[in-house]
Amino acid sequence: MEQKPSEIGSSVTTQNPHLLEVRGLTRYFTVGSLLRPRHVHAVEDVSFAVRRGQVVALVGESGSGKSTTIRLVARLIEATRGEILFEGVDVIQDEPRQASREYRRKVQMIFQDPFASLNAVHTIEHHIERPLIIHKKAEIRAERLDQIHILLGTVGLNPPEEIARRYPHQLSGGQRQRVAIARALAVDPELILADEPISMLDVSIRMGVLNLIAQLKEERGLAFLYVTHDLASARYIGDEIIVMYAGRMVEGGTSEEVMQEAAHPYTRLLISAVPDPHAGLRTRKETGLRGEVPSLIDPPPGCPFVARCPNVTAKCHEAMPGVSQISPTHWARCYLY
């Protein structure tokens, strides 16, 4: 009997309890007319876990469902099916209508577009002060200001007093992203959800922000769920990598396992497509794997990768493969294993 996705968590981890566990998370969007509704299967049966102080990278291209997944975990949108367990408690059952203040304190988020995630009409100080006020982190204003300045210093924005007084449009993209991180840190969270935080930054500035994330993980034991399309950065800061395709998860494991011994054909395709100067100038071969991501609207049963897979068999069209363990920490959803 193939392993059900919801069982991965228990076999991957050791004694550490999971900080976040997602089981069978599914999200459909309804499109089309009222009489003949169709559904976009944006996220289908996604399960994974994040331990304390761990960085899990969700990797996928556009349409893979990674952004929708992180928004589901952030409870910005509602799941169609599935469970989100935070510190062992099913939050969807516990707080069905709205996320609790507790959850909002322990789970924070930073966004992709540094220009859009800060409100142009408020100062930096205001942005960071609000979470402090909401979560009652400091009662007196002077205390709050102190906190704000410390936070700005932590993320490398100096001099903090001056930066705090500014407005978003007076900061560069990299600085804004650091402000977003400071805001997330203000409430002392356990888990930070990062939705492609560096993809809209200048190349030379990206490493600074990534290193900051790595530093926060080391020094504060913060867990991160890092969503990206860039395998290289996923490898750089991720302890674990999970690969998504067309709304489903297809492979997962430690970052070294997934990168060096990629199992799923899609992962291999992805790795081969990344320009890698370290590999030297390769001779170009026809990969013959042309094709696009299939439509997510009412998809047929079976693995979504069938149209492009070099190893496709008849079984692949019938049903989505279950999880096969390649090693205690490495799994893939593919009939090859």
Partner 1 sequence: MRDLSVEYLTARGPVQAVNGVSFQVRQGEVFGLAGESGSGKSTIAHAILRILHPPALITGGAVRFGDRDVLAMSEGELEEFRWKSISIVFQSAMNALNPVMHIRDQISDVLLTHGFPRSEVQERARALFDLVGIDPRRLDSYPHQLSGGMRQRAVIAIALSLSPPLMIMDEPTTALDVVVQKDILQQIANLKEKLGFSILFITHDLSLLVEFSNYLAIMYAGHILEKAPAHELFERPLNPYTVGLMNSFPSISGEKRRLTGIAGAPPDLVAPPKGCPFHPRCPRAMAICSEVMPAIQQVSPGHEVACHLY
Partner 2 sequence: MANVNPVPADAENPQALTPAIGEGAAPKKTAGRQARSANRETFRRLVGQPKAMIGLTILVIYILVAIFAPLIAPGDPSRLEARQNQPPSAEHILGTTGQGQDVFRQLAWGARMSLAVGFMVGFLSTLIGLIVGMTAGYLPGLIDGVLNLFTNVFLIIPGLPLLITLASFLPPGPLTVILVLTFTGWAWPARVFRSQTLTLREKDFVSAAVVSGESRPYIIFSEILPNMLSLVVSSFFGAVTYAIGADAGLAFLGFENVNTVSWGTMLFWASNNSALLQGAWWTILPPGLSIALVAFATTMLIYAMDEVTNPRLRSEKEILRVLRRFHVVSKRSTPVVRKAAE
Residues that bind partner 1 (CB under 8 A): 61-62, 172, 174-175, 202-208, 210-211, 229-233, 235-236, 259-260, 269-282, 284, 286-287, 289-290, 292-293
Return the one option of partner 1, partner 2, none that residue 273 interacts with (CB less than 5 to 8 A, by type). partner 1
- The phi and psi torsions of 64 (rounded to 5 degrees) equal -80, -20
Residue 45: how many CB atoms within 10 A of its CB? 19
Return the one option of partner 1, partner 2, none that residue 236 interacts with (CB less than 5 to 8 A, by type). partner 1
Alpha helices in 278-329 (DSSP H): 314-318
Question: What's the start-to-end Cα distance of the chain, in Å?
Answer: 13
Return the one option of partner 1, partner 2, none that residue 283 interacts with (CB less than 5 to 8 A, by type). none
User: Distance (Å, rounded) from C-alpha 71 to C-alpha 84?
Assistant: 12
User: Distance (Å, rounded) from C-alpha 279 to C-alpha 230?
Assistant: 17
- Residue pair 5/45 in contact (Cβ under 8 Å)? The answer is yes
Least separation, in Å, of the C-beta of 154 and partner 1? 16
Q: How far is CA 181 from CA 154, 174, 189, in A?
A: 10, 11, 11
Least separation, in Å, of the C-beta of 157 and partner 2? 7
Nearer to partner 1, 56 or 85 (CB): 56
Return the one option of partner 1, partner 2, none that residue 97 interacts with (CB less than 5 to 8 A, by type). none
Contacts with partner 2 by CB under 8 A lie at: 61-63, 67, 71, 74, 76, 101, 104-105, 107-109, 111-123, 130-131, 134-135, 157-159, 162-163, 165-167, 169-173, 175, 180, 183, 187, 196, 199-203, 229
